[in-house]
Amino acid sequence: MALVPKRALLERIYPLIQVKRFRGKINVTKPKPPHFVKASYLALTKPWFINPNKDKKPMELCRGFDEKLFKDDNDNPFQRIIAQELYRWISTSRLVVFYHHNPMNAEEEFKAFAMFKKQNMHFKKYGKKTLQMAVEGTPYETILDFYCSQNMTVFSPEPEIVKMLNITKKFRQLVLLAGILDGKFVSKDDLIKYSAIPNLQTAQVGLVQTLNSAASRLVGQLSSPQSSLVSNLEERAKQLQPDNKR
């Protein structure tokens, strides 16, 4: 059987269809109100029952959720130990600084921890519940107002405010909120003002230099008339010598 060439058969021609709307685009922002009958059916079929999952947390929607495991009144002995340690850090540190902690990768967080550690400062993170167990009913209860989201705390045995601010400038993710200096709450502006004041050793050296300069100036002023009188008498004695008369 001879093959019939393809060109000898008639080919089908498919029409090109292009859908177009009449009168432009669809109005999505301000749709046309439905017909009265359609609006009546929509209002009639609108659900009115209350969703049983309303105001539930995502973990409460999971299968096998046990409410007893997430109650706040559960006593955690390990958390109480951490709370006692946190209160000891606050009460024994001369400088305690509170930061708001923006998203920060592990490498930068470790770098900040190492830089604070080199200056004998401790860079730590605690949860609000642990902090509440530590400071509730104590003079430091005001700290709870700062712990609204992710927070970091720095404890320093010495009030090294200048070193703390220099490290803080290197990390934009750490936003300085306030601090405790020698048992007193201070704001961020107060910490910046205190950083401009020299430390005790520098102030003592300056005071000693001022006292020494005042004492030496007083001694010089008191001995000046005597020195000038002695020099004048020596000059007069030289003038009265026989050699000078000739």
CATH number of residue 101's parent domain: 3.30.70.1730
Is residue 129 within 8 A of residue 79, CB to CB? The reply is yes
| CA–CA distance, 191 with 140 (Å, rounded to integer) | 18
**Residue 15 pLDDT:** 76
Residue 203 inside a domain? The answer is no
Residue 151 inside a domain? The answer is yes
**Residue 74 pLDDT:** 62
**Residue 56 pLDDT:** 81
Residue 168 inside a domain? The answer is yes
Across the beta sheet with 184-187, what order do the strands follow? Answer: 122-124, 151-156, 95-101, 174-181, 184-187
**Residue 18 pLDDT:** 75
Residue 19 inside a domain? The answer is no
Is residue 82 within 8 A of residue 130, CB to CB? The reply is yes
What amino acid occupies position 139?
Answer: P
Residue 45 inside a domain? The answer is no
Apex 206 CA angle, 204 and 209, nearest 5: 110
Owning domain of residue 97: 77-196
Residue 36 inside a domain? The answer is no
Q: How many separate domains does the chain show?
A: 1
Residue 65 inside a domain? The answer is no
| CA–CA distance, 48 with 188 (Å, rounded to integer) | 52
* pLDDT tens for the 246 residues of the chain, in order: 455 555 556 677 777 777 776 666 766 677 788 899 999 998 888 877 777 887 887 777 877 666 666 565 567 788 888 888 888 888 888 888 988 888 888 888 899 889 998 988 888 888 888 888 888 888 888 888 877 777 888 898 888 888 888 898 888 888 888 888 888 888 888 888 887 877 677 777 777 888 778 777 777 777 777 777 777 777 777 777 766 555
